[in-house]
Amino acid sequence: MSSLLIKNGRVIDPASGHDAIADLWIQDGVIAGVGSNLSPGDTETFDAAGLIVAPGFIDMHVHLREPGFEHAETIESGSRAAAAGGFTSICPMPNTKPVNDNATVTSYIIEKARRHALVNVFPIGAITKGSNGEELAAIGAMRQAGAVAISDDGRPVMNARVMRRAMEFARSFGIPVINHCEDLHLSAGGDMHEGLESVRLGLRGIPACSEDVMVARDILLAELTGVRYHVAHISSRHSVEMVAFAKSRGLAVTAEATPHHLALADRDMTPYDSNFKMKPPLRSCGDVQGVVEGIVNGAVDAIATDHAPHPGSEKMQEFEQCPFGILGLETAIAVSLEQLVHTGKIPLARLVALFTTGPARILGLSGGGLERGTLTPGAAADVTIFSTTREWTYDVNRSFSKSRNSPFDGATFKGGPVATVVAGDIVWQA
Ligand SMILES: [Zn+2]
Ligand SMILES: [Zn+2]
């Protein structure tokens, strides 16, 4: 039976409010205790002096590309990138080939992950068959097989009637609905945020309102159905304000933001560089500020990467031709520290909550079975050890991902992941 003592770190556990230098003791895959006078006997030790010891980080929005697009990423390679980014749990979106719209695909992903993944994998099932937006997927069967939420990410559910039915089903199965909010009629043909920059670069724009109208519709439907509703990769100021409004009305509406939408605006793009092309697009400075304010005031509940690997053969095309999406797992902690903590906008404990209790509560990973996102005794021994001071440079060519599409290649950061512990085992170390 395995035992691990993580010594002398600053143990931050937002779920219990613990924030002090302490030792963390793990035994047989669960948290055994936090304190200063633990005597676990004969045990492996990890010296975390000068480091932060937090519950295992959860990324509730990734794309692992398996099954179907294994040249871009696999469950194994994506899980390695996750471990190297300090994540102990990841939730892959269903836009694989075939789409994860039935229990067979859900079970396939879970079984593959059990054998090959370094971290926990909690799949998200599709809302509609083939994510075509028309006929509901096998929501109950996927839930039974282990799906933790439903989403047609990559595409929105355009038909409000279909969305309403999906919400009613999801509510009865106790899982949240996650929407990629984009009105396709308003965004059609766009390659970047619609504004002065798109005019200057001569590229077709995706207006912020294409996101806002969908968020507004969904909040109304969430109120009607009583579902737990979650906005993926929120990127506009108005959308953040509407989520705050929904919360003020007592609705179970939550939102996630990506590190790149906190760090970069449209004017920061290297012109025509596809590593700056994603959906939603990098928006105006005012929108970036709006998302950051949402994190500060609590409208935004979680940080998620939307890790979206694409191979060079696809990304090295003309800007208008190449697919949307960038890598995110390995730079998420560093970018978030830089934008939110080093700038003094939020305390470190709040940052930890955005990566732990936030996603755990949205997905219901914090109840039943082994608890996630907390270091309370008896919870899963998933631990993220990171630094807030260590300087390092991100070299995308050394990424564990199979793809290389990152706008942060060559960036130097202060702080980042140091070691990742899953079920009591150190699965990655800097
Ligand atoms: Zn999306
Ligand atoms: Zn996505």
Q: Provide CB contacts within 8 A for 235, sequence distance 6+.
A: 208, 211, 257, 258, 261, 280, 281, 283, 287, 291
157-216 confidence digits (pLDDT tens): 999 999 999 999 999 999 999 999 999 999 999 999 999 999 999 999 999 999 999 999
Alpha carbon distance 91, 82 (integer Å): 11
For residue 297, how far is the Cα from the chain centroid? 19
Scanning the structure block, which residue is given the tokens 């079920």? 423
Neighbours of 20 (CB within 10 A): 11
Give the integer Cα–Cα distance in Å for 277 and 271. Answer: 10
Phi, psi (rounded to 5 degrees) for 46: -130, 125
Whether the link from the prior residue into 156 is cis, omega within 30° of 0, is: no
Q: Does the structure show a pLDDT above 80 at 38?
A: yes
pLDDT at 367: 59
Residue at token pair 């999801």: 170
Indicate which residue of 19, 306, 395, 425 is catalytic.
306
Residue 8 Cα to ligand 2 middle (Å)? 37
The residue count for the chain: 430
How far, in Å, from the CA of 178 to the mean position of ligand 1? 10
Q: What is the C-alpha to C-alpha distance for residues 14 and 56, in angstroms, rounded to an integer?
A: 12
Q: How far is ligand 2, taken at its centre, from the CA of residue 309, in Å? A: 10
State the alpha helices, DSSP H only, in 174-284.
184-187, 196-201, 209-225, 237-248, 259-263
Alpha-carbon distance 32 to 46, whole Å? 15
Which ligand is nearest the CA of 306, by number? 2
Ligand 2 center to residue 236 CA distance, Å?
16
State the pLDDT at residue 42: 86
Angle at 234 between CA 229 and CA 240, to 5 degrees: 80
Task: With beta carbons less than 8 A apart as the criterion, state whether 132 and 99 touch.
Answer: no
Residue 155 CA to ligand 1 centre (angstroms): 7
Q: Is the dihedral of CA 354, 355, 359, 360 positive or negative?
A: negative
pLDDT value of residue 312: 87
Q: Quick one: which ligand is closest to 230's CA?
A: 1
**Would you call 306 a catalytic residue per the annotation?**
yes
3-state secondary structure of 3: strand
Q: 131: closest CA among 82, 180, 87, 169?
A: 180
Q: What percent of the chain has pLDDT over 70?
A: 99
Strand partners, 303: 257
pLDDT in tens, 313-369: 888 889 999 999 999 999 999 999 999 999 999 999 999 999 999 999 999 997 557
Nearest ligand to the CA of 64 is 2
Q: Which residues pair with 44 in a beta bridge?
A: 4
- Kindly state the average pLDDT of the residues 303-322: 92
pLDDT at 414 over 80: yes
